[in-house]
Every structure is written in structure tokens, then in C-alpha cells.
Amino acid sequence: MSDDTDRNARHADKMKKVQAARQTMMATRTAEKGLLIVHTGPGKGKSTAAFGMAVRAMGHGMKVGIVQFVKGAMTTGERVIFDAFPDLVSFRPMGEGFTWDTQDRARDIATARTAWDEVCRLIDDPDIAVVIADELNIVLRYDYLPLDEVLAAVTARAPMKHIVVTGRNAPDALIEAADLVTEMTQVKHPFRGGIKAQAGIEF
Amino acid sequence: MSDDTDRNARHADKMKKVQAARQTMMATRTAEKGLLIVHTGPGKGKSTAAFGMAVRAMGHGMKVGIVQFVKGAMTTGERVIFDAFPDLVSFRPMGEGFTWDTQDRARDIATARTAWDEVCRLIDDPDIAVVIADELNIVLRYDYLPLDEVLAAVTARAPMKHIVVTGRNAPDALIEAADLVTEMTQVKHPFRGGIKAQAGIEF
């Protein structure tokens, strides 16, 4: 038997075992439920992955409601594509800009309340399969909304309702309540090299 | 002055300083360039964020080419949405399934080569703004493609070409060559609670 044939045979044998182990593991996963998903951490991709999930769900004909708690110029691109599917996705930028732009705490709190009311409406709407509360964690971080109220609402969701919450500094209690939590860690960022925010990448 | 008025005034003052610091920082970021972006780490969201970036770029009329090195059942949802924009995105699942399903190393290597040839074609095509090599890191991890060849091709890309590479265990040399690297870390995963892969979430 040549070296290569031997290597391929060992590979096939190993992969058979991996496949068997995976099948055993997958067989234990039979339950379905609406997930509370949190994307947090200082790295990029938290909102982008949430919007990618929106696209995935929309492709299955599932309706998605997106509320943005902090409006930036960062969603121009996605909006164009989402707007082509008005029956499948609603996209509401409720924030009035970053809080360092408004410089008005009372107004920021009122805006957060309006956005949260819309999230609650989406959570209660049986037609909506996936609710995305984009940058909700930032609002919680600033104490613009009571954490207890948010926890109560997401915990009381219908059994098959998926909720995705994004933003750095997710509160511990939200992580505790969640089913799926991913932390995006920044390894390297081009801003450090003097590169500006670019169309198709950051917005 | 009431406590609340006082707090709001201090908030406004602090936010003015944050805003000024940000404006100074943003003023140093003037360059544009095509980015080599890597999504790695064991957590979820690597491919999802890449597909979210595709949607963002498509919304700006930028053309996107996606090559999937490991084909699973995991892209059903996105495909439906992408297929609505045939002029803006090409999506080629080149892999034949997870390597533990094929159990055939020689065939996996041949498939990786075909997929890589398609990535090189997209990198060389001046009409394509964003190239996504989904799960390329897995193929590199298995040594199914020479790392040197991949590094040479991504490094020699046109100045404004963006390339996104996903997959856990990104090679150090690829991270070194990249402009933007995010590591997705798994904090909590529902499979551990016996929840199966669900439509709109995992595929």
C-alpha cells in the first residue's frame, strides 16, 4: 500500500468515527424552542450577524421585526435589500443617533422607551417569528430602560418566538436568561491603520 | 437645580467631550482600501456575519461572489433571498458535504481545489467588489490547499477588493495578513440543552 493510499485509508477511518460521534450527539438534540440569542463583545459582527439571521429566516418565509435602538448611518446597505421584502421584514430605526450626538439624556430615555414599546409589540405579535433588538444592550448599559422589565418581557415570550439582542456589554442577567450567547472579540481593526468606514463594510 | 436637571447637565457635558474625541479620531481615518476580513473562533456568527456583509454590500449595488468550501444544509434560507438578486450576488456551494460525510480525503482535496479556483476567478474579476470564501479556514486546517498559495492570492488582490474568509482555526499567517479580524467566542450554546438545529436560526 502506498503512503498516500495508507493516509487516505486512515483518514476515512477517522472520519467514520467522527461521523458516528456526531450522529449520536445530534440524536440527543430533538427539542425545538424559540431562542433568546445575544451577540455581545467589543468586536465587529454583532449587528451584521443578526441581520444575516434575519435574511436566513426571511428565506424560510418567517417574518422578522427589527428595532434599532441606536441609529447610526450604519444600515444603509441592508435597508435596500430588506425594503425589497416588505411582507417579510419591518425595519424601524427608533434611535435618534448616538448618545454623544444628542447630548440629551432625557430625550435618549424617551427614545429608548418608544423603541422598547415597539419591541414588546413585535414580541406579542404572533405573526412575527424573529424579533431583533439591535443595540438594546447599549441602552441597558446606560440605564435608559429598567433591566427587570426587559428580562420579564423576553422571558415571557411565546414558546417558538426567537429574540436576538445585540450590543456590547450585555448584562449578566440577560446572558443568564439567554439560550445562545456569542461574544465577538476584536483581534484586529483597520481603523487603527487609518482606514475610514467604507460603504459595504461598515454601512 | 434639581438632581435630575443636574444629572442631565453632567451627561450633556460628558457627551460633548466624547463627541469631540470621536470627531478627532475619525478625522485621522481618511484612507480607503479593500479589506481582508477574517471571521474565526469557535462561536456562531462567522458565516452569518459574512452573509450579512454580503447583503450590506449588495444594498450599495456592489457585486458579491460567495464560494462555500464546506457545503452543509446550512444556507437554505440565505439562498432564497440571494436568488432574488442574481445580478448582485453569485453563491456557489462547492463543497460536497462535511468531510466526515465524504470520508474521502482525495475527493475533498479535489473539491477544495475547484472551490479555490472559483475564489481566484472572483478575486481577479474587476466587477466583483466583495469575495466571500466561506469556511476556507477549515480547508486550510486540513491542509487541503497550500497556505502559501492562498496568502499570495489574497495579498495580490486589487487595491479596492474586499475579501472575507470564515471558519474556525484561521492560520496565524492569514490573521497577520488581514486588516480586520473578529473572533467569535461561544459563551452559551443551545445544543447543550438538547435543542436541535432550527430553520431560520442554523439554516
CB atoms within 10 A of CB B84: 13
Q: Do A45 and B43 touch (CB under 8 A)?
A: no
Q: What is the largest CA-CA distance in chain B?
A: 77
Domains of chain A and any CATH numbers: 34-184 (3.40.50.300)
Residues 91-150 of chain B whose Cβ lies under 8 A from any Cβ of chain A: 99-106, 129-130
The residue in chain A having the minimum alpha-carbon distance to the alpha carbon of residue B100 is A15
* 3-state DSSP assignment of residue A83: coil
The residue in chain A having the minimum alpha-carbon distance to the alpha carbon of residue B17 is A100
How far B133 CA sits from the closest chain A CA (Å)? 16
Range B130-139 average pLDDT: 96
Percentage of chain A beyond pLDDT 70 is 95
The more confidently predicted of residues B108 and B146 is B146
Cβ-nearest to A103 among B16, B188, B198: B16
Residues in CB range of A10: below 8 A, 6 or more apart: none
Residues in chain B within 8 Å Cβ distance of A177: none
The more confidently predicted of residues B89 and A194 is B89
Long-range contacts of B94-100 (CB under 8 A, 24+ apart): B94/B67, B94/B68, B94/B69, B94/B118, B95/B68, B95/B69, B95/B70, B95/B71, B95/B135, B96/B71, B97/B70, B97/B71, B97/B72, B98/B70, B98/B72, B99/A15, B99/B70, B99/B142, B100/A15, B100/A16, B100/A18, B100/A19, B100/A22
Q: How is residue B183 written as a grid cell?
A: 473572533
Would you place residue B30 in the very low, low, confident or very high pLDDT band (cuts 50, 70, 90)? confident
The answer to whether the beta carbons of residues A137 and A159 sit under 8 Å apart is no
Chain-wide mean pLDDT for chain A? 90
The residue in chain A having the minimum alpha-carbon distance to the alpha carbon of residue B13 is A103
Q: Do A59 and B49 touch (CB under 8 A)?
A: no
- How far apart are the C-alpha atoms of B21 and B18, rounded to whole Å? 5
Whether complex ipTM tops 0.95: no
